Amino acid sequence: MEEENINRRSFIIRVLYGIGGVLGAITMVPVISALFSPLLRNTPRDWRVVGRVNDFKIGKTVLVKYKNALPLEWSGLSSETASWLQRNSEKEFTAFAINCTHLGCPVRWEGDAELFLCPCHGGVYNKDGSYAAGPPPHGLNKYPVRIRNNNVEILTSPVPITNIGGEKS
């Protein structure tokens, strides 16, 4: 009788271990697929046309919107991204990431003050995107810009993640 109880107990324990193992394996599937997904590791980068050169006035900063680096069929509005585009001279443009380098809130351009302001914790950036005040660890991130066939193009990139502990510049 005692031996039968021990066998039953050990059988139940083995079944529970088995169920636990299967559940653990199922739980790990998304983690493992994210780690090994070539799609996530090698996010494609593409040049996106954001307008004609003459659409932008020298010395002005405007918001431009375009499809992000990985516009999936089901991604809807989240496939859109944006940059603050500044025309510095006849042929020179700078594209700033709209995301604050502190915790990623979208910064807004205040033309009168010539500053980028972050509404979340009061981060401030100068006109050239450099750090001015507040909690951001450094200046705004920038995207490569080029002119092709009289179009202004921005190189799509994954949304820059904050760089806590970086240099203030």
Binding site for ligand FES (CB under 6 A): 100, 102-103, 105, 118, 120-123, 134-136
Residue with Cβ nearer ligand FES (120 or 155): 120
Residue with Cβ nearer ligand FES (102 or 127): 102
- Name the strand (E) or helix (H) holding 41: helix 38-41
Long-range interactions of 122-128: CB distance < 8 A, separation 24+: 127/61, 127/86, 128/94
28 Cβ contact list (under 8 Å, min separation 6): none
Least distance to ligand FES, CB of residue 125, Å: 10
Query: Phi-psi category of 17—alpha, beta or left, where left has phi over 0 and alpha has psi -120 to 50?
Result: alpha
Residue with Cβ nearer ligand FES (123 or 139): 123
Least distance to ligand FES, CB of residue 82, Å: 16
Coil, helix or strand for 110?
strand
Least distance to ligand FES, CB of residue 119, Å: 8
Residue with Cβ nearer ligand FES (28 or 133): 133
Angle at 111 between CA 138 and CA 99, to 5 degrees: 35
Least distance to ligand FES, CB of residue 33, Å: 31
